[in-house]
Amino acid sequence: MSGSRRWHARLAVPTGRRSHLGFDTIGPTPYAARITLREACETRGLSVYQVAMSGTAQGTLDAGTVYRLARGETSRIDLQTLAAVAGILHTLTGQPVSVAELLSLKATGAAVPYAYRG
């Protein structure tokens, strides 16, 4: 160990030992994802109720699903559900919808050094 640098697993101190990510690689910055359906509705002058009832009438989404998404009471979203919400908003307003209007990402912390455990 003398002269060589190693990662200390607990402290994540760079040691100069090469990992598959390279020397002293910084890990990813943590992010939090949030569904922004309520904001997308407000921007378009719609209520969540209108979107929920339209989804139910079209047979594409259950009203409860729309309300849960609007309240942020979900940790995952299916791509078909996201597409159905976008389709409903587009149908009601005639305006295309982007994923960025329905989802937001926010950094929640700083990147941390990658701890090599080789």
Is pLDDT of 112 > 90? no
Q: Between these two residues, 45 and 55, which has the higher pLDDT value?
A: 45
- Report, as an integer, the average pLDDT of 74-99: 94
Residue boundaries of the structural domains of the chain: 31-107
**Residue 24 and residue 13 in contact, taking contact as beta carbons nearer than 8 Å:** no
CATH 1.10.150 fits 31-107, yes or no: no
Q: Between these two residues, 82 and 6, which has the higher pLDDT value?
A: 82
Is pLDDT of 118 > 70? no
pTM: 0.70
Q: Which amino acid makes up residue 45?
A: G
In this structure, what token pair is assigned to residue 108?
Answer: 């929640």
Q: Name the residue with tokens 């003398």.
A: 2
DSSP for 47-75, written as a single string: -HHHHHHHHHHHTSS-HHHHHHHHHT--S
Is pLDDT of 5 > 80? no
Mean pLDDT taken over the chain: 82
